Amino acid sequence: MLESLDKHTSLISANSYVLLFNLKEMAVAKEIFKLRKEHVNFKKLLSLLDAQLDHLHKGDEPDYQLMTDIMYYMTEYSDTTHHPKEEAIFSVLLERDSTAKKYIAEITGQHHTIGESGANFHETLENILNGEPVIMRLQDLEKPGRTYVANLRAHMDKEDRNLFVRAEQLLNEKDWKKIDAKIQHHKSDPLFGTHVEERFSSLCNQLGQMETKSS
Ligand SMILES: [Fe+2]
Ligand SMILES: [Fe+2]
């Protein structure tokens, strides 16, 4: 009887250990989980943008307001919060894994080029909304849009498959505390967060419609 109780207690202890271990792992990888989730969200926006570029390609009038809202979000949230968070993680990762140096340099460089091309594309769209006639050839609008979508998708895939995996495997609790201290001041997500900012309410509805169609 006592022997079986001992076995039972050991089993509970072992399970508790596994549970505690998993909880610790979850806490450590929390920021990477959030960044991966943001990638999923960004890809939804890129699909919406792609669909508008398809309209443009066919000669139909795209929803310029929707495209502008998407690019406003990407330049005001992704470029100013998501990318700096990643860079804070990657700088600590570099202390643990010097072989990540060339990937980090490549990814950080892409943050600049994607940010710059996104800001230019957003400006073009805002000018159209503000009444500037769409006198440019359609491909001059479509090309930067398609390039932006393709580059950002490829960029996120690289992070998901390489640097995020390294960060999940190599960074310890102390590293994550250091990272948390660097990123805690960052603003919350104005579209996919707990509170949707007024200016994104229409975009939020469009995302809801897209989800309904695909389910
Ligand atoms: Fe990134
Ligand atoms: Fe990212």
Q: What is the CATH number of the domain that holds 206?
A: 1.20.120.520
Q: How far is the CA of 86 from the centre of ligand 1 (A)?
A: 6
Cβ atoms of residues 49 and 70 within 8 Å: yes
**Could you tell me the two tokens for 185?**
């001041």
Give the range of the structural domain holding residue 129, as residue numbers without chain letter.
29-214
Q: How far is the CA of 85 from the centre of ligand 2 (A)?
A: 9
145, part of any domain: yes
| 1 alpha-carbon distance from chain centroid | 55
160-190 pLDDT per residue, tens: 999 999 999 999 999 999 999 998 888 899 9
pLDDT at 93: 97
Provide the whole-model pTM. Answer: 0.85
- Sorted by sequence, the CB contacts under 8 Å of residue 158 that are 6+ apart come out as 103, 106, 107
Ligand number nearest to the C-alpha of 34: 2
Number of domains in the chain: 1
Look over the chain and give the mean of its residue pLDDT values, rounded to a whole number: 87
pLDDT at 27: 57
Q: How far is the CA of 170 from the centre of ligand 2 (A)?
A: 18
Q: How far is the CA of 65 from the centre of ligand 1 (A)?
A: 26
24, part of any domain: no
**Could you tell me the two tokens for 153?**
């998708």
Share of the chain above pLDDT 90, in %: 72
